Each structure stands twice: as C-alpha cells, then as structure tokens.
Amino acid sequence: MEAKTVSQSKTVKAMLVLPPDSNALGTMFGGQVMSYIDDIASIAAFRHARQQVVTASTDSVDFLRPIKVGSMVCMEAFVTWVHKTSMEVYVSVISEDLKSGERQVCASSFLTFVAIDEKGKRLEVPPLIPESDYEKDLYNTAEARFERRMERRLQSRKMAEKYRT
C-alpha cells in the first residue's frame, strides 16, 4: 500500500455564520461547531483512506474563543497519524472578521476514524508521510495521544458495563 502525504488529506471548508447558527449570545452554537468538525474530519479521513470511514472517537473539543454571527468560520482538517486501520485527524476552527481581516483560532480537536468495507469490516489504511515541521510534530506526538485514547476507551467500556440499563 503506497504511503500518502498529509497534504493529500487536507480539507478546508468556509462559511458565513448566520443567525440560525447562533445562540442567544450571538455566537455560534457549540453543537453546530462540533457537527462541522466531525463532517470535515470525516472527509479528510476518507480522502486519505479512499474507503468509507466511521468516527471512532472525538477527543475533547477545546472552545478557545466565541465565533460571532457575521464572521466567517474556516475549518481545516488533515490526517496526522495512522495505525493499521485507523487515522487520527486534526481539525482547527478559525474565525475571521470579514471587515478587519482579523483571524483567530476558536476551537481545535483530534478525532479518530476507522476505514471499513460495506459489511463494516475494518480495512487497512495507507501509511502517512509528514512533510513540514508542523506535520512532523503532530505525527511524533500522536502515539502518546493514541495511548491515552485507548486508556480512555477502556475506562468508557468499564463504565458502560457497570452502569448499563
């Protein structure tokens, strides 16, 4: 299986934040941001795997700044690391004041996707080649995030067994 570069999965989506996207404070609903994060991350994972993918986990979504109605929101996603059948995807959410041009990172998240066939069986994904220093840094720190995810998943399974109804 031929390795792919990070840039081959990079996906960008931009939109204007309108009143229906907002809460009573005039800022974008956090749930809407989370939905967009999952959407763009799944596209980046699909582009890397060229197979159907499903969300396996979402690390914490860190909301750093509010996104105001009337601003543009731009999301960038790309694969940062791969395991045998899974991919870690990083998403950055950036708002831009269209009048001033000021841009700010408003949220970020790591998600994990698994490539599957039409029967839901896991499929291997291509290896990843990080190129820039930024990509290499994310790649080199990914295994530690993977291990924390596996521990968190184990704890979630134990909790689900203990408190199932």
The residue with tokens 């931009």 is 14
For residue 70, the domain's CATH number is 3.10.129.10
CA distances from 44 to 41, 61, 75, 83, 93 (A): 5, 17, 11, 16, 14
**Contact between residue 75 and residue 40 where contact means Cβ atoms under 8 Å apart:** yes
Domain of residue 128 covers 4-163
pLDDT at 23: 95
Q: Which residues of the chain are modeled with pLDDT < 70?
A: 165
Kindly report, residue by residue over 26-69, the tens digit of the pLDDT. Answer: 999 999 999 999 999 999 999 999 999 999 999 989 999 999 99
> DSSP character for 85?
S
pLDDT at 165: 67
Kindly report, residue by residue over 47-56, the tens digit of the pLDDT. Answer: 999 999 999 9
Count up the domains in the chain and report the number: 1
Is the four-CA dihedral 22, 25, 27, 32 of positive or negative sign? negative
